[in-house]
Structure 1
Amino acid sequence: MYNTFIFDLYGTLIDIHTDEESPEFWERLSYHFLYSGYPIKPEALKEQYREEVSRQFSNPAVKCEFPEIDVHLIFKTIASRKGQCPDVEWIEETVRWFRRLSIRRLQLYEGVKETLIILKAQNKKIYLLSNGQKTFVEEEMRALGIDDLFDGIAISSNPGICKPDPLFYDYLVNTFKVDLSSAIMIGNDATTDIEGAKRVGIDACYFHSNCSPNTTEVDCKYQIWDGNFRRILDMQ
């Protein structure tokens, strides 16, 4: 019997599509910089953003196998090149605009909220282990009404470590005192979610969704290929 359920977020609980490649996206974001007193061309903004992403991966803040970037630091660096020192509020606002302008689809998969509520009513411990930026994750979980259904939320941008790195699981355990002895990991990615769970010695359930990387075979105890999220309740 599983008493601890650890969920991935994007592609597992939340059906999301973002577009950070379109010229329109970077043009609109550049207007935000312009209105804030940091004029920059859309092409230059996109180029500098990508350069900072590459730089952070090349020289991560945390020495680990799978580091995470810090989007807040990226925009702080870009604005600082204009000879200004942006405050925390502006950086947070910019990160929110970056995400909001890129979103093309944002919704829960069918059965997600119902399943989480049932697990909670059964006194199961429910945790989130998500790769992503804290600002994105918290705002989107709140918007979709699931932020209060978890006993703990671990987001990779906080420790600077991503799944499938076992150090990210250590962060979850140490932060929220999670008992992995009766835990199962549920996710839509055979590498970040399923392999990550195997590396820390816990069972996993693969949930195939429209956001899953192309795969036809996954090595784990439970597999859901038909999109029926409620089948997670059968694993108890």
Structure 2
Amino acid sequence: MKYKNYIFDLYGTLIDIHTDEDQPELWKFMAEYLEKNFGTKYDYKVLKKEYGKLCKQETEALAERNGSKHPEIKIQWVWQKLIDAPCSDEQMKDLCTAFREKSRDKLVRYEGVKETLASIKQAGGKVYLLSNAQRLFTEKELEDTELTQYFDDIFISSDMEIKKPDGAFLQQLIDKHSLVKSESVMIGNEIFADVGVAAAVGLDAIYLNTYSRSKREINHNLKRCGADINKVKFVDDGDIRKIE
């Protein structure tokens, strides 16, 4: 085993997922959900528009507060403003789960993921998650795909209010666990976010091309994030079993 610490992206790396937040059925469902559970009434088209507007406003406000070029809001901030009524933590969790599951039409673990993570653990390695995600969506999806148990720690961008490729996000994980950079590697399916965040802090990276990106697109994003190609291993078919 080349490394002692394996830091994984989630979506497109360990889990194959597809969501569609533009579908009218989602917003009709959510308009009914808000009225039924909170007495808040919206036309579904207005709800969709307001959701998008508030996401943008909250992101811009957060960037002003924390100075990051890559801020990550907590999605519950948006829903609380839309509800405009008392909402407990449990109610918010249920709302976000309902929204996510209605928007999602695919959630499967990639072949070989459990075996690979188990192999790293059995060899004495550490396994971490560094995901651009919303905790209120991701916790249940980790449970549903039976992956939670494999991680020594889970870092989700909404908790930290910054996301990849901001190097400060990965650096927090490194600092918390006193990781030696030469013994650690970032694995993901996005050049700009995953290879980019590794480059930002001086870590090696493994790129899993699970979405069959073209060489032109890959090279463009390598230049965009300033990655050293000598510190990146490319797995062209995206097979996670080839990372070791």
User: TM-score normalised to the size of structure 1?
Assistant: 0.92
The aligned runs of 1:73-92 (5 Å cut-off) are 73-80=77-84, 84-92=85-93
2:55 maps to 53
Offset at 1:211?
7.9
Q: Is the 8 A contact 2:58 2:73 kept in 1?
A: yes
- 2:66 partner SS: coil
Letter in 2 for 1:226: D
1:66 maps to 70
What CA distance in whole angstroms lies between the structure 1 residues aligned with 2:134 and 2:212? 18
- Higher share of residues assigned helix: 2
1:231 maps to 242
- 1:199 partner SS: helix
Runs of 5+ unmatched residues, structure 2: 223-228
- 1:120 partner SS: helix
User: TM-score normalised to the size of structure 2?
Assistant: 0.89
- The match for 1:221 among 209, 212, 232 is 232
Runs of 5+ unmatched residues, structure 1: none
- 1:158 partner SS: helix
Offset at 1:87?
2.3
Moved more, 175-184 or 47-56: 175-184
What CA distance in whole angstroms lies between the structure 2 residues aligned with 1:13 and 1:34? 36
Q: Is the 8 A contact 2:15 2:108 kept in 1?
A: yes
What CA distance in whole angstroms lies between the structure 1 residues aligned with 2:132 and 2:33? 26
CA RMSD of aligned residues (A): 1.7
What CA distance in whole angstroms lies between the structure 1 residues aligned with 2:212 and 2:15? 9
User: What's the CA shift string for 1:101-141, capped at 9, x where partnerless?
Assistant: 11110001111111001111001011000000012111101
What CA distance in whole angstroms lies between the structure 2 residues aligned with 1:102 and 1:8? 21
